[in-house]
Copies of this chain bind each other. A is one copy, B any other.
Amino acid sequence: MTQIFKLLSDESRLRIAYLLSKEELCVCELVGITGLPQPKISKILSKFRDLGLVTDERKDKFMFYRLNQESHMLIEILSYMESHLTTYPLLVEDRERLLHKEDHIDKCTLKSLRQAN
């Protein structure tokens, strides 16, 4: 339980957890949306994975991460955060960017791959 709180106690981790609570995302999408350095995001995701809070799946060249649906507590806390989002503008911005994520992932080939589908 303290582990979950610890993960959420860091702004970068909180942002990533929040974004993943919305939909599954790959590393380059998270980089594009948050603007955080890629190694940092990979490290954060590996911590999440070590604690069994996310699962990963490779699709083409991309590693997609999603919340482990068995992490009830994490999921409920994140969904609960939605109602307190105005106290955290950065998360609101992330949510906005997530809606237009195609505009933020031009540094990898995922964009054109998506457009091809």
Secondary structure call for the A interface: helix
Contact B14 A10 (CB under 8 A): no
A117 at the interface (CB under 8 A from B): no
Contact B2 A10 (CB under 8 A): yes
Chain A's interface size range is 10 to 19
Within 8 A of B (CB), among A35-87: 72-73, 76-77, 80-81, 84, 87
List, in ascending order, chain B residues with CB within 8 A of A5's CB.
Answer: 5-6, 8-9, 14
A1-B81 CB under 8 A given contacts A6-B9, A9-B6, A9-B9: yes
In the bound assembly, the distance between CA atoms of A72 and B8 in angstroms comes to 17
> A8: nearest residue on chain B (CB-CB)?
B5
Chain B nearest CB, measured from A48 CB (Å): 15
> A77: nearest residue on chain B (CB-CB)?
B77
List, in ascending order, chain B residues with CB within 8 A of A2's CB.
Answer: 8-11, 14
Contact B84 A73 (CB under 8 A): yes
In the bound assembly, the distance between CA atoms of A5 and B14 in angstroms comes to 10
Contact A80 B76 (CB under 8 A): yes
